[in-house]
Amino acid sequence: MLYFGQLGYRVIAHDRRGHGRSDQTWDGNDMDTYADDLSVLLEKLDLKDAIMVGHSTGGGEVARYLGRHGTKRVAKAALISAVPPLMLKTDKNPTGAPVSVFDGLRTALAANRPQFYRDITLPFYGYNRPGAKISEGIREHWWLQGMLGGMKAHYDCIKAFSETDFTEDLKKIDIPVLVMHGDDDQIVPIVAAGPLSAKILKNATLKVYPGFPHGMPAVSYTHLDVYKRQPFRSSVFSPTRSTPNTAATRDRWSMSSRNPAPTIFTATSTSFSAMTF
């Protein structure tokens, strides 16, 4: 977010319901409601020509929003280490993960949520690989993001990100979509994710990063095209303006600027959903 803000983009972040500093709602922890919450946010801020970028579960939110609410307010999108088209193994999705994997996540979360969030940072960032340079700061930061949210929302979110089928959403998306995935993603394995989404989308560009983990924007950002080549900059956007920060989910950070291209970020299932416009 800092990077895009320094480039002059207008930057806004929001926390998904039940995550971060948003209200810890009991119900509505599903992709349809997540997408509807995003719609309220975009409508309240009257955003136009936005670029939506979703990481992990956030990629599911982006896909469901575009499939459910259309692209009238969105010019481009990016899916980074994202859960679409479907994580769960089914007869039609044989490369997905069995439900026992997600049952294990639910069991670990319910038994000891603080330890769960600490332990999962190792595969999340590839820190369990030989020779990995571990940043305890990044691990603690991710743990803090997780602990800010609510137990019920996080428990329900596992079902939302693992069992939601985004195939029909992806088919409806007609704007350009950048699909980015690391081939050593241990959280959302690439075999059932990025390349399959790119095949379904009408206008996709697929970027596969050898050896990169699920949390590649945090540990490998200096190598990513999203930072090096600034693929979201475009002269087709009209200038943004400052608007009131009122929405169903809370704004975390807002900056207005001269840059004509607004962007959006949505992040992981257990941390905040960072959105930038």
Active-site pick, 15, 37, 156, 185: 185
Contacts of 173 (CB under 8 A, 6+ apart): 63, 66, 67, 71, 77, 201, 202, 203
Q: How far is CA 117 from the centre of its chain?
A: 17
Active-site pick, 15, 22, 55, 56: 56
Is 141 a residue of the active site? no
Helix, strand, coil tally for the chain in percent (to 5) = 40, 15, 45
Alpha-carbon gap, residue 160 to 170, rounded angstroms: 17
Strands 177-182 and 251-255: unpaired
Is 56 a residue of the active site? yes
H helices then E strands: how many in the chain?
A: 12, 7
Is 214 a residue of the active site? yes
CA distances from 175 to 9, 17, 132, 136, 166 (A): 20, 27, 37, 38, 16
Helix 151-163, helix 57-69: angle, nearest 10: 70
| 8 Å CB contact between 49 and 237 | yes
Q: Label residues 170-193 b or e (16+ Cβ within 10 Å = b).
A: beebebbbbbbbbebbbbbbbebb
**CB atoms closer than 10 angstroms to residue 62:** 32
| 8 Å CB contact between 205 and 78 | no
Q: How far is CA 160 from the centre of its chain?
A: 13
Active-site pick, 214, 257, 271, 273: 214
Catalytic residue numbers, as ranges: 56, 185, 214
